[in-house]
Amino acid sequence: MIFQDEKPHEECGVFGIYALDADVIPAYACYNALLALQHRGQESCGIAVNNDGVLSYSKDMGLVKEAFSDEILSRLQGQMAVGHVRYSTAGASVRENAQPLVMRYIKGSLAIAHNGNLTNALEIRRELECAGSIFQTTIDSEVIAYLIARERVGAPSIEEALRRTMRKIHGSYSLLVMSPQKLIAARDPHGFRPLCIGKIGDSAYVFASETCALDACGAEFVRDVEPGEIVIADKNGLRSIPAEKQERRALCIFEYIYFARTDSVIDGISVYQARKEAGRILARQSPVKADIVIGVPESGIDAAIGYSEESGIPYQKGIVKNGYIGRTFIKPTQTERERSVRLKLNAIASEVAGKRVVMLDDSIVRGTTCGRIVSMLKEAGAKEVHLRISSPPFLWPCYYGTDIPSRDQLIACKHSIEEIGRMNYADSIDFLKLENLPHMLHKETDEGYCDACFSGHYPAEIPDEEFARKMNRYCMPIKRY
């Protein structure tokens, strides 16, 4: 049996570079950036390069450091490159679904790297299949590739073909498209997924899911790609096609809570500061008498620091993480599954023994892991363990690229907060209140981000078939868009 980490996972991370300076080697810059984005996807990875109009690529299952060697990278010569790390929320975890997708069509070649999830992908795919298209993968990205190729036949440029395609696709996408002459970045009109622009010297432009990837390849942050915007890098520099219409901005709030790396800045907001602020809010919202505050590595640590600073309770490292354990691991028996948490996390007994502990974690999804950590702390001698969760309870599935499951698998859909606390052996428990979520980003309202997985308020239309797929008897009336 495969035991999976219960944390939600984001679909992937993308990176692209257009370089005219011979001192910048795109394939190696891409490799370094993908290492920095590895937390966004650990199932497969790939790099495609453009060498004077000839596209070549290498992609494989597994981690970046395992898939690429110096020998492979040295063969990937070219002035442009796009890279991708993937975690599958749509489409099976097989090599055929690894990205970037490279395709050849009547107008030449394209390489595409996509982060997100189209809500109307099934509908478009059926239309294309009825028209004779043959799909090689089961991912949304191939749907986008087919649409771009079809539009390009009648469009004067690849960016115009992409603009026409964006009128037809719905949902979330931060997208990189590499043609023989251009590297193009696009972000969906709601801005569900992050995408930023960087620059290396005076002649290399980069696009990345997070700013931490810019740091890894030596690029300077320029700005974020705006929702609905198309940005083109070519021999003439950088230019932009603004969004055709303004939609409600809806960056996934879970980027700040869990997905993004701590040192990234997304849409002008520091991930680290947002997580610390969530901890501060929890300290005011749910105070408790305790001796130490600890965090569950990694994203729970930042919230724990904020909780400590606000409450005055000392922060202490109480849990150590084994960084060499992957996202999934085999557990053949129930006993082994119960012990599985110790493969990734272990208590520091000398710091928790005899103490009242406040433990910060970022979320509880199915409720399969948190109780094991609390039990582990109590076995290590903790007198009390008070759970504080730096997000509201998950009540709704996600249709925009996060693998939050159907409602029957969400523990908060079937149990009250008090029941969740008892099930997880906690002496007390509280979640960040939904109304306090904007304050984590120093906002007064929920304007600018998507919190549908907590509130059920979906900012973009979801087709009936797709909507019904993740709903069940725990459903109640909600605002869909």
CA distance 389 to 426: 12
- Total H helices, total E strands in the chain: 18, 25
Alpha carbons within 13 A on the beta-carbon side of 360: 38
Query: Residue 164 corresponds to which tokens in the numbers above?
Result: 């026409």
Tokens of 321: 């993480």
Residue 459: asked if its preceding bond is cis (omega within 30°), the reply is: no
Q: Is 456 left (phi over 0), alpha (psi -120 to 50) or beta?
A: left
70 class by beta-carbon count within 10 Å (0-12 exposed, 13-18 middle, 19+ buried): exposed
Reply yes or no on whether 398 is catalytic. no
- How far apart are the C-alpha atoms of 257 and 298, rounded to whole Å? 11
Distance (Å, rounded) from C-alpha 224 to C-alpha 214?
A: 12
* Secondary element (H or E) of residue 224: strand 220-224
Structure tokens at 433: 């209140």
State the catalytic residue, choosing from 12, 30, 196, 212.
Answer: 12
What are 357's strand-pairing partners?
292, 385
- Tokens 């395609």 belong to 165
Chain-centroid distance of CA 149 in Å reads: 27
Using only C-alpha atoms, the chain has a radius of gyration, in whole angstroms, of 23
Those residues whose C-beta lies under 8 Å from the C-beta of residue 359, and which sit 6 or more positions away, are: 293, 294, 295, 296, 300, 304, 318, 373, 374, 377, 385, 386, 387, 388
Which parts of 123-263 are beta strand (E)? 171-178, 183-187, 196-200, 204-208, 220-224, 230-234, 237-241, 250-252
**Residue carrying the six token digits 């849990």:** 319
Find out whether 172 and 190 touch, Cβ atoms under 8 Å. Answer: yes
82 sits in which H/E element: strand 80-86
Number of Cβ atoms within 10 Å of the Cβ of 434: 15
Catalytic residues: 12
